[in-house]
Structure 1
Amino acid sequence: MPLAARLARTALIAVLALTLVPLWSVPAAAGSGSVTRLTLAADTDIPRGVTVALLRKTMTLTAGEKRHLRGRLEATSSTTGIVGLTQRIRCLNASGSTVPVVAASARNHEGSDTTSYAKPGNLPLYTDLLFAAPVTGVYTCVLQGTAYSTLPGTYHLTAVAGSTWLETDDADQRGAHWWQNGACESADTAGGCTYVGAGVAGPDAWIFYNDGTPVHKWQAHPDAVTVSAQANVELTTCYQGTASCASAMHAYPRGRNAVVHTRFELVQLNAADRACRTHQFAADRTIADDAHHAVGYSKLSDIPIDHDCGSRSFLLRVYVKHVSGQTVKVDGVQSGVTSLTNGIAFNNFR
């Protein structure tokens, strides 16, 4: 591609509320029991500015019954330009109203000629939701895709048949619990988001622990033999001029990138509510300014419940430490309903 075209392509970054980039390995879904997978049967275009319902799962649930839903959207593009792609899992009640929470993940599709994906030109996104029925009734959960960008002209993304799917549990996830980060709008004009970095940002943060959200002590079910947990943490680089961070958090010109250290912890407490056993998954994560947003997936599976601790209480939290480069924003709940950073704990029964 000629230099002028590459520069133009770089400048036409999609302006997205939810343009979040999964850069790192994606573990399989946590939890126990069988699941049903609905797979997209035919390639489906996602035109610019349109939200397309790709797959639907209808369930009859009793009040309080829970299901873990996991979606995968794999997309190709009709253009070499940058186009934003957002994936959501949205559940509706019988009257068609959205039942909070909506789970989302997204990133810019970097063009049909990109070779940075595992399969060139094919961008995969994953999203997780723990849905709890507020009342007994019929619910329909929908996997949606939206494309948008500042690029001129006509173009579209395409959800790939066979590689786009929606999974749901076949039975109640008894006692499972959902965590989500606090309110954090895309532009953060009120400065309410959590940041890690240099300058006015703090050097580190504990998500779900000291980020302003209530600390929840989760009780493993009395019949559970082991527990599993996962977390999806969405991060954004705050380069100069970005519309995705409070202006006070803008650090360096675009191109500096960022490195953060993350540590996902599931802590079993003792009878005095102190740490007894700590299980963790750590990773250093690089977030490119061209990517701008990224999601880090973490998972701990089949963790034994230590009876010597004298308690079945657990804390779930994620430590995020700035290592170098741009200040980084931890994305949270947008518009009061859409969760970008979240965690789930599951009971495993044998």
Structure 2
Amino acid sequence: MAALAMAPVLLGFVPAGAAGTGAGRVTRVSLAADTDIPRGATVDLVRQTMTLAAGEKRHLRGRLEATSTTTGIVGLTQRVRCLNAAGATVPVVAASARNHEGSDTATYAIPGHLPLYADLLLTAPTAGVYTCVLQGTAYSTLSGTYHLTAVAGSTWLEADDTDQAGARWWQNPACESADPTGACTYVGGGPARRDAWVFYDDGTPVHKWQAHPGAATVSARANVELTTCYQGTASCPDEMEAYPRGKNAVVDTRFEFIQLDTTGHTCRTHSTSARRTVTDDAHHSVGYSTLSGIPIDSACGTRTFLMRVYVKHVSGQTVKIDGVQSGITSLTNGIAFNHFP
């Protein structure tokens, strides 16, 4: 098996149909025909074009379902990337990644079919036409001829049809694939932290979000990408690599969306928890958390909320909490939405 690192940036589980966390309708554009993603290539798969006013917001969700022509391991990254009328990328790009573990893999919901999701909140910097694209990249050190294939119908890009007024985007700090400067956050044994709070104590400026005055309820989601640090990987520094490949990692996560009181302290905590196993074959794994229909409690005295994700190492490999690559592409992020009566 080839040892893989996340592909360098070349330019966020909610089931299908559950996208559009914010209020209003969504438009889904699905891939019309199976499309090959050759090794080392980034392929545009699906696109949507919209005309927006300055400051207008849209939630986009992409799904890439991929099969493979090899039983070997091939890396897969999907991105949701928006461009202005001049063709320039509008920050930020949302991404998620995982190794496709082979055409014979039976641990996916459909054997051999790996699905990835990514969420983006697009805020138009200026009025104009924006084109958003779902992209797929395949990468591997395997020899021979092979490719991944994006599956028609099951690969799609959704976008809200109306403005997500007051919605807010979170992303954690820079963390390059190979972490040459030691900027990433690690949880595990040895020199790593035992736990961490994403968007809270990982170097991210703590943001207190104000729900819209007219909102009846709110909702939130977070996508957190983790990478295992097995011995010999190019994704982690040597001191974080305690075990040979095959040890895998187990972590506990808890997504919290907290309504604050007038003193800035917790008034109401809304949370969802999960135990996650990240295998060394998958190497990268993104966890999707959603909290919907949250009431805004008037007794708290504010409409202020704080978002954070607790990540605790349980056993196995140290894991890296992936962040922003190349200054623009976010692998760990969150969005808060208003819901209006």
Normalised by the shorter chain, which TM-score bucket?
over 0.9
| C-alpha separation in 2, matches of 1:102 and 1:87 | 10
1:11-90 pair list within 5 angstroms: 12-17=2-7, 25-27=13-15, 28-29=18-19, 30-90=21-81
Q: Does 1:330 align with 2:311?
A: no
Identity among equivalent pairs (%): 75
| C-alpha separation in 2, matches of 1:18 and 1:313 | 37
One-letter code of the match for 1:329?
K
Which is further off, 149-158 or 230-239?
149-158
| C-alpha separation in 1, matches of 2:38 and 2:250 | 34
Q: CA shift at 1:16, angstroms?
A: 2.8
SS in structure 2 at match of 1:33: coil
| C-alpha separation in 2, matches of 1:124 and 1:112 | 13
Q: Does 1:210 align with 2:201?
A: yes
Aligned residues: 336
1:252-331 pair list within 5 angstroms: 252-331=243-322
One-letter code of the match for 2:89?
T
Deviations along 1:210-244, whole A, 9 cap, x unmatched? 11110000000000000000000001111122110
| C-alpha separation in 2, matches of 1:73 and 1:247 | 32
**Alignment partner, residue 140 of structure 2:** 149
**Alignment partner, residue 183 of structure 1:** 174
One-letter code of the match for 1:276?
C
* Equivalent pair of 1:13/1:83 in contact (CA under 8 Å): no
* Equivalent pair of 1:16/1:149 in contact (CA under 8 Å): no
Q: CA shift at 1:78, angstroms?
A: 1.6
* Equivalent pair of 2:253/2:309 in contact (CA under 8 Å): yes
Runs of 5+ consecutive residues of structure 2 not aligned to the other structure: none
Q: CA shift at 1:96, angstroms?
A: 0.5
1:120-159 pair list within 5 angstroms: 120-159=111-150
TM-score, reference length from structure 2: 0.96
Runs of 5+ consecutive residues of structure 1 not aligned to the other structure: 1-9
Regions of 4+ moved over 4 Å: none
* Equivalent pair of 2:7/2:139 in contact (CA under 8 Å): no
Q: CA shift at 1:82, angstroms?
A: 1.5
TM-score, reference length from structure 1: 0.93
Deviations along 1:37-91, whole A, 9 cap, x unmatched? 0011111111122111111111111111000000001111122222111110010
Alpha carbon RMSD of aligned pairs, Å?
1.4
